[in-house]
Structures are given as C-alpha cells and as structure tokens.
Amino acid sequence: MAKKLYVGNLSYNTTEDGLRNYFSSFGSVVSAKIIFDRESGNSKGFGFIEMSSDDEANAAIAGSNGQEVDGRTLRVNEAMDKPHHDRPRGGNSSW
C-alpha cells in the first residue's frame, strides 16, 4: 500500500522531477507533487511524495529528513490527512 510523505523546506528551484529522482533512491516513487501558489505560480516550498510501500516510505523518511537538497535542509515526515470540515465552502449555509 502506498504511503504519502510531506516534504517541507524545499528550495524554490526544486522541480517535481528533481524531487522524484531524489526519492527514487529509497524505492519506487508513485507520485511527486510540489505545491504552487495559485496567484503567483511560485513554489510554496513544500510538496508530497508517495512511496509504493511502508518500508520504502520509512526508508525515505530516515534517509532524507535533515538532508540538504538544492541548498535547503529537508523536513520529511508522514503526511497527515487534510481535515474535512462539516460546513460547505463559500456562500451562506443557513439558506
């Protein structure tokens, strides 16, 4: 089962391909995604990597957390699920 990892403190020059290549040394990378600002199009300095197994994800955390990539020290840990809110987005829900 694939496991998603949070990768923080990324250089603004790091690309998704570069991230995928770096993490491929720890196992099979299912997906690599850097988060970009919608308005400016610039990297927000973090992203997510999905590894194909728990063992590979654990190896990636152990091998990359605190390591320097593109001049920045990475923070890598297991990604937390995004909280879901009970109320709908936008508009007035009391109608």
pLDDT at residue 1 in the model? 79
Confidence of residue 89 (pLDDT cuts 50, 70, 90): low
Q: Tokens at residue 63, please?
A: 């091998």
pLDDT of residue 85: 57
Q: What is the pLDDT of residue 88?
A: 55
| Reported pTM | 0.83
CATH node for 3-78: 3.30.70.330
What are the sequence ranges of the domains in the chain? Answer: 3-78
Tens-place pLDDT, residues 27-82: 999 999 999 999 999 999 999 999 999 999 999 999 999 999 999 999 999 998 77
- Sign of the alpha-carbon torsion through 22, 24, 26, 31: positive
CA 23 → CA 41, 49, 68, distances in Å?
A: 24, 8, 13
Which residues are bridge partners to 72 per DSSP? 69
